[in-house]
């Protein structure tokens, strides 16, 4: 397999690490995308130590210069902030991010050449390409891919820049997918897309993206490293501290609900399911713990207040808890010590790291029958599947998993085995096949031109 380019730009949601200049920890918006970034970074650098990596990360208020960052895996990268707050375009009169304006700018007006938001993103990512000296970019999710295509059309980057997009989400992205479809013409376009699940692949195809430009690669991770983290969390008593800090009864089992607190993740369905279980008397010895404090979307700043109000109105305040912020170690402790993990998104997506980590830690999982989860979870064997948006069905599944110990144990064992096969190496093999195919295509075009 040919080596990767010696300089690579990764456009990520965010990245963990410690600034080498100051020794201070970089603030990070923890999410499954961040975990994916680190699985990708650690694996690529391990396999290709000669590749110099720059990471462009989003969320900044202002653009800034690159700085050296030491990530937890011991890899040194250059990190460069991309300003994505855009209050002048996205905020309403109360200076809060407006969902309607955000949708119009990012999605509805993606094709408009005078879209100032997209122009800014194109200019920033073009600058990142030049700072990195990269000939190949790996872009996490749809927005940096669109921005880089726009940058190429604006003449801000070289016409032969290779872009590989890792597409994890197909929710409310139809116009952006369509924008790419009109520009992606197989290998000649310089753009390849890697779908995180079959459902994302189908969404790209239905938008007109040619099949020749798409690969499908399921998420994977370094299982040994994560299990070591869980063992370290147990030895440190991290879960006990989480219980004490959040007022969880130490005598009660915990039903963990991981993930960002944003609409569409099924939190309302979990709360309604808890209401059903309380009426049945099935939560006397268990509680529901919802993680994700601080992991919010600025388009819905009141979502956490909405969940707290729904918990009060459902009469389950003694049974459903919105946990405070958790460190990476504490999150691993929750996976390793909970009785059950529930992830109930209403919309399809890839197989998220919350489910992979839960299964690796030996927690039985319940999730909705769609997206990447449906492609990996075999109902009744390595997890339980329920219809999305159906709280009674979710309550029934939770009750079954809590009361049927034989099933509970079987799901835990089979889930751990399934997650153990979703390796970092398998994911990287798929990514490298697409990345090195792009390198070979570019080299081939160069040789053809020389003749």
Average pLDDT over every residue of 380-399: 97
Average pLDDT over every residue of 11-39: 93
From residue 312, give the alpha-carbon distance in Å to each of 9, 79, 273: 46, 42, 14
Q: How confident is the model at residue 440 (pLDDT cuts 50, 70, 90)?
A: low
Average pLDDT over every residue of 113-119: 94
Q: How confident is the model at residue 148 (pLDDT cuts 50, 70, 90)?
A: very high
Average pLDDT over every residue of 1-25: 88
Average pLDDT over every residue of 236-242: 97
Give, for 439, the enclosing helix (H) or strand (E): helix 424-450
What percent of the chain stands above pLDDT 70? 95
Q: Which residue has the higher pLDDT, 322 or 435?
A: 322
* DSSP-derived pairing of the beta strands 286-290 and 52-60: unpaired
Length of the chain: 451
Position 313 scores a pLDDT of 96
Position 266 scores a pLDDT of 94
Domain architecture of the chain: domains with CATH: 7-220+426-436 (3.40.50.11930), 223-422 (3.40.50.2000)
Q: How confident is the model at residue 438 (pLDDT cuts 50, 70, 90)?
A: low
Task: Write down the number of H helices and E strands in the chain.
Answer: 17, 15
Between CA 147 and CA 333 the distance in angstroms is 38
Euclidean distance between the first and final Cα of the chain, in Å?
25
Give which of 247, 288, 248 is closest to 267, Cα–Cα.
Answer: 288
Q: How confident is the model at residue 434 (pLDDT cuts 50, 70, 90)?
A: confident
Is residue 166 helix, strand or coil? strand
> Dihedral (C-alpha) 399, 417, 350, 145: value to the nearest 10 degrees?
150
Kindly tell me if the per-residue pLDDT of 445 is higher than 50.
Answer: no
* DSSP-derived pairing of the beta strands 52-60 and 76-83: parallel
Query: In this structure, what are the phi and psi dihedrals at residue 399, rounded to the nearest 5 degrees?
Result: -60, -45
- Is the distance from CB of 288 to CB of 274 less than 8 angstroms? yes
Token pair of 382, please?
């390595």
Write out pLDDT tens, residues 299-309. 777 889 999 99
């Amino acid at each position: 397999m040919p080596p990767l380019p010696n300089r690579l730009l990764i456009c990520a949601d965010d990245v963990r690490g410690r600034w080498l200049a100051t020794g201070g920890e970089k603030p990070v918006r923890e999410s499954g995308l961040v975990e994916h970034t680190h699985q990708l970074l650690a694996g690529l650098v391990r396999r290709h130590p000669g590749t110099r990596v720059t990471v462009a990360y989003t969320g900044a208020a202002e653009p800034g210069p690159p700085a050296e960052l030491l990530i937890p895996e011991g890899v040194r990268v250059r990190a460069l902030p991309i300003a994505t707050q855009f209050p002048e375009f996205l905020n309403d009169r109360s200076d809060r991010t407006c969902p309607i304006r955000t949708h119009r700018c990012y999605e509805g007006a993606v094709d408009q050449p005078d879209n100032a938001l997209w122009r800014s993103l194109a200019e920033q990512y073009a600058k990142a390409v030049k700072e990195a000296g990269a000939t190949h970019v790996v872009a996490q999710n749809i927005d940096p891919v669109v921005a880089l295509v726009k940058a190429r059309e604006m003449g801000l980057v070289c016409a032969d820049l290779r872009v590989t997009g890792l597409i994890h989400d197909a929710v409310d992205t139809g116009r952006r997918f369509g924008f790419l479809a009109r520009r992606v013409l197989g290998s000649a376009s310089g753009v390849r897309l890697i779908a995180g699940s079959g459902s994302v692949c189908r969404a790209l195809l239905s938008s007109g993206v040619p099949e020749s430009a798409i690969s499908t690669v399921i998420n994977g991770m370094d299982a040994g490293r994560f299990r070591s983290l869980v063992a370290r969390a147990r030895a440190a008593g991290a879960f006990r501290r989480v219980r004490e800090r959040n007022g969880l009864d130490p005598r009660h089992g915990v039903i963990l609900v991981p993930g960002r607190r944003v609409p569409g993740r099924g939190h309302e369905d979990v709360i309604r399911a808890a209401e059903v279980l309380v009426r049945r008397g099935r939560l006397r010895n268990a509680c529901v713990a919802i993680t994700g404090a601080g992991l919010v979307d600025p388009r819905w700043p009141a979502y956490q207040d909405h969940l707290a109000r729904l918990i009060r109105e459902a009469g389950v305040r003694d049974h459903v808890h919105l946990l405070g912020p958790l460190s990476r170690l504490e999150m691993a402790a929750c996976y390793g010590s909970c009785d059950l993990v529930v992830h109930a998104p209403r919309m399809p997506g890839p197989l998220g790291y919350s489910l992979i980590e839960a299964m690796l830690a030996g927690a039985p999982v319940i999730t909705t029958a769609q997206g990447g989860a449906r492609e990996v979870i075999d109902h009744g064997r390595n997890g339980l599947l329920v219809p999305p948006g159906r709280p009674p069905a979710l309550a029934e599944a939770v009750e079954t998993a809590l009361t049927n110990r034989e099933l509970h144990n079987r799901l835990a064992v089979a889930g751990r085995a399934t997650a153990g096969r979703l390796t970092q190496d398998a994911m990287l093999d798929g990514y490298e096949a697409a990345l090195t195919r792009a390198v070979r295509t570019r080299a081939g075009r160069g040789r053809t031109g020389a003749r």
